[in-house]
Amino acid sequence: MKNKTIIMIICTLTLSGCVKTNTNYSENIKTVQTNESTADTKPETMAQAGTTGISQTEAENYEGYTGLWTESSFSHEEVLSYGGLEFSFQVTDKTKLNGYLFMQQGTTERIAEIDNITGKIINGELNYKYDDDGWGGSGILHITFTNDNAIKIEVQDYKIKDTNLSGYGFSGVYQLERTKLNKGDVGEKSSETTANKTTEPDLFDVIYKKYYAPWTESEMQNAIAERKQYRDQCSFYPEVSNYLENVREVRDISSVVEPLYFTDLKIYQKQDFDQVPPLIIHLAKNEIYARHGYIFKNQDLNNYFKGQIWYEPSITAENFKDSAFNQNEQVNLKLLSSLDTYK
């Protein structure tokens, strides 16, 4: 059984993010310029429904399935922020389905999608042949409507394009749940971000599902132990530990491997950082970049984030683009940049 205790210890916190400055322990990352539009965009809305001409009994009615279905019941905003798969569709005339399948990789933000999925559901099943998932991949979507709370998509006869060196695309089996927000609202994007409607326990739940749900307790403990070498090499880590123990009153510091703040899930105010030490504010700022795989040139920042099991370094500073940030991160980065005085 997965160990949710570790994450709850960390989640009693609410601390840091990131920036880089050309000083001993910091990197000077350019402040992102925000605007009124969100950093993430929704896939195209679905086209009008079509049929396959397959016969169907009048007794079956699948219209109640209409809505947004995702892995771990993520909202659309969470899929855009952390990566994942979503299946959005509408069922009309009891059995006629029309929708789209969208997938985004959390670290690299690669996108695969299949638009205009149409067909008729027969005995709880629908097969849809596709020729391109955005990466040249082709196959058959075998969609099973098992009950009101679960949908399974199995990709059959999958063929990857020779030029697709990344291997990205739809393959394997996906278990989907009805999203916890906007049930039944197809193609609509909430005007508010998920985090601003969500309680702290809900945020902990999102973090757990995103980073730890696939891990066993022993796998998590092994990962923490493996990353300890990096924390030991970080010159300012004792200061972070002292803050966690004496301010946040965390007793098991070895298990604190979570982001210090939920800067991707909620928008913070200036007063949230009134009593926060400069180092923690500095880390909170850089944490926003680290969440997207930013590779730090500063050795201390590099060691600090490599010590966190959620961090996956993947993008160099030269190739990093601020467009990776969602709206919450843009707003929080601007605030933290103005508050960051760490030298």
pLDDT, residue 216, reads 81
Please name the residue ranges forming H helices in the chain.
5-11, 76-82, 200-211, 217-233, 237-246, 278-290, 299-306, 327-339
pLDDT, residue 35, reads 38
pLDDT bin (cut points 50, 70, 90) of residue 306 is very high
Strands (E), 19-83: 67-70
pLDDT, residue 18, reads 38
What's the CA gap between 333 and 50, in Å, rounded?
A: 45
pLDDT, residue 199, reads 59
**Dihedral sign of CA atoms 187, 108, 110, 152 in order:** negative
pLDDT, residue 133, reads 93
What's the CA gap between 290 and 278, in Å, rounded?
A: 18
What's the CA gap between 133 and 139, in Å, rounded?
A: 9
Percent of the chain with pLDDT over 70: 71
Q: Which domains does the chain have, with CATH numbers?
A: 5-37+197-339 (no CATH), 63-188 (2.40.128)
Q: Which range (15-29, 162-176, 269-283) has the least confidence?
A: 15-29
What's the CA gap between 329 and 323, in Å, rounded?
A: 10
Average model confidence (pLDDT) for the chain?
A: 77
pLDDT, residue 32, reads 42
| Predicted TM-score (pTM) of this structure | 0.48
Q: Which range (43-47, 164-168, 280-284) has the least confidence?
A: 43-47
Question: 31-34: long-range contacts (C-beta < 8 A, 24 or more apart)?
Answer: 31/333, 31/334, 31/337, 32/322, 32/325, 32/329, 32/330, 32/333, 32/334, 33/322, 34/327, 34/330, 34/331, 34/334
Quick one: tokens of 104? 């985004």
Q: Is the pLDDT of residue 29 over 50?
A: no
pLDDT, residue 202, reads 66
- The better pLDDT of the pair 52, 168 is held by 168
**pLDDT tens across 292-305, in order?**
999 999 999 999 99
Contacts of 260 (CB under 8 A, 6+ apart): 13, 14, 15, 16, 17, 280, 283, 284, 287
Contacts of 312 (CB under 8 A, 6+ apart): 107, 293
pLDDT, residue 265, reads 81
- The better pLDDT of the pair 19, 276 is held by 276
pLDDT bin (cut points 50, 70, 90) of residue 326 is confident
- In a 13 Å sphere around the CA of 131, the CA atoms on its Cβ side amount to 0
pLDDT bin (cut points 50, 70, 90) of residue 310 is confident
pLDDT bin (cut points 50, 70, 90) of residue 107 is low
**pLDDT tens across 143-164, in order?**
999 776 789 999 999 999 988 8
Q: At what angle do helices 299-306 and 278-290 cross, to 10 degrees?
A: 70
User: The sheet that has 150-159: what strands, in order across it?
Assistant: 111-120, 96-104, 84-92, 67-70, 173-178, 150-159, 138-147, 125-130
pLDDT, residue 180, reads 66
pLDDT, residue 5, reads 42
pLDDT, residue 21, reads 37
**pLDDT tens across 211-233, in order?**
676 678 888 888 889 999 999 99
pLDDT, residue 221, reads 86
- The better pLDDT of the pair 88, 194 is held by 88
